[in-house]
């Protein structure tokens, strides 16, 4: 069953990329509930097992039916590219309680056991209590599971956005959207996303938020109900290697050849990235990363191209060969 999003002239001008810490928080909670979503997260799960096991995620899980939508207020699309988790959780806490209750009921009704549990917790009589309890769990997941790894995750998300932005400039929206996932097709101004639900929405000038995610795999989330801005959430490029540590013989030799810092920068460029993005991903000072990039570029291992206000770095064929050992 497909979701169809219909674009008009104004929508092309209002499409934008963003990432969301709050989205990753709630998506991680869903992933912890669903073993079928854990294939690319094994190493992260091993690292966070004890911290995750100490959390009571029941309040969130009640609002996450296996078939059906989670409430939109649980993770509204980010309004700006620079939105912080603190900004986002404040927006959740500020949700009007009766609106939250109405939206939550649609999710709870998909699972009779969840609806009974919500009644037992007093959520339907006191939706403000529901908002407090759910927001508290979101903050606990952020501080204990996501924030310690956020610089690495944010680096991957920003690298995906930089890559897609360049592709958008080169080929246009009609080419970029089908590249995001093979379930996405584009024809005559309509984006069709194959999925388990049927939905149709005319964007009417709102445009579309394109949002890469670490934890959404294997799904593509194709829209949010009004009043939220239409959003396409898709698996970010590079999630297969996000948690892997560089321990292969080729990587070890690369470190001996180039030094730890330059080897780490070269290895991190599986997708085009900026100096700032690499610094966040590798937890290095931007000045150090800039110095490494200059030397690697002079050695013919990287290229650099300007895109808007950003400079994106990519490995050359020689850089790829050194990194992979091929």
Q: What is the pLDDT of residues 223-269, one digit of tens each?
A: 777 778 889 999 998 887 788 654 455 567 788 888 989 999 998 88
pLDDT at 156 over 60: yes
Q: What percent of the chain has pLDDT over 90?
A: 44
Higher-pLDDT residue of 84, 321: 84
Domains and their CATH numbers in the chain: 2-17+175-240 (no CATH), 21-151 (no CATH), 245-324 (1.10.10.10)
Average pLDDT over residues 162-185: 87
What local confidence, expressed as pLDDT, does residue 295 receive? 93
- Helix (H), strand (E), coil (C) string for the chain: CEEEEECCHHHHHCCEECCCHHHHHHHHHHHHHCHHHCCCCHHHHHHHHHHHHCCCCHHHHHCCCCCCCCCHHHCCCCCCCCCCHHHHHHHHHCCCHHHHHHHHHHHHCCCHHHHHHHHHCCCCCCHHHHHHHHHHHHHHHHHHHHHHHHHHHHHHHHHHHHHHHHHHHHHCHHHHHHHHCCCEEEECCEEEEECCCCEEEECCCCCCEEEEECCCCCCCECCCCCCCCCEEEEECCCHHHCCCCCCCHHHHHHHHHHCHHHHHHHHHCCCCECHHHHHHHHCCCHHHHHHHHHHHHHCCCEEEEEECCEEEEEECHHHHHHHHCC
Q: What is the pLDDT of residues 108-146, one digit of tens each?
A: 999 999 999 999 999 999 999 999 999 999 999 999 999
């Amino acid at each position: 069953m497909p979701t169809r999003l219909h674009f008009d002239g104004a929508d092309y001008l209002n499409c934008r990329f963003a990432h969301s810490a709050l989205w990753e928080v709630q998506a991680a909670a869903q992933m912890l509930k669903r073993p079928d979503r854990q294939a690319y997260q094994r190493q992260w799960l091993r690292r966070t097992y004890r911290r995750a096991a100490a959390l009571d995620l029941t309040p969130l899980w009640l609002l996450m039916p296996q078939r059906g939508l989670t409430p939109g207020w649980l993770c509204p699309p980010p309004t700006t590219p620079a939105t912080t988790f603190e900004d986002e959780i404040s927006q959740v806490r500020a949700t009007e309680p009766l609106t939250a209750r109405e939206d939550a009921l649609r999710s709870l009704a998909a699972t009779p056991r969840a609806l009974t549990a919500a009644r037992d917790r007093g959520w339907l009589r006191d939706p403000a209590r529901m908002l407090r309890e759910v927001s508290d769990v979101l903050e606990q997941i952020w501080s204990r599971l996501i924030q310690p790894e956020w610089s690495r995750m944010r680096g991957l998300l920003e690298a995906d956005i930089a890559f897609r932005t360049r592709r958008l400039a080169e080929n246009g929206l009609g080419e970029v959207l089908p590249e995001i996932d093979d379930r996405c097709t584009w024809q005559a101004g309509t984006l069709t996303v194959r999925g388990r639900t049927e939905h149709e929405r005319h964007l009417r000038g709102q445009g579309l938020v394109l949002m890469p995610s670490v934890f959404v795999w294997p799904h593509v989330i194709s829209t949010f109900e009004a009043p939220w801005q239409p959003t396409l959430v898709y698996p970010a490029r590079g999630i297969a290697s996000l948690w892997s540590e560089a321990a292969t013989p080729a990587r070890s030799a690369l470190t001996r050849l180039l030094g730890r810092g330059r080897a780490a920068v070269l290895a991190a460029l599986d997708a085009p990235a900026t100096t700032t993005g690499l610094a966040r991903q590798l937890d290095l000072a931007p000045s150090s990363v800039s110095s490494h990039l200059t030397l690697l570029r002079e050695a013919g291992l990287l290229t650099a191209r300007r895109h808007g206000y950003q400079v994106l770095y990519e490995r050359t064929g020689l850089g790829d060969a050194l990194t992979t050992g091929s």
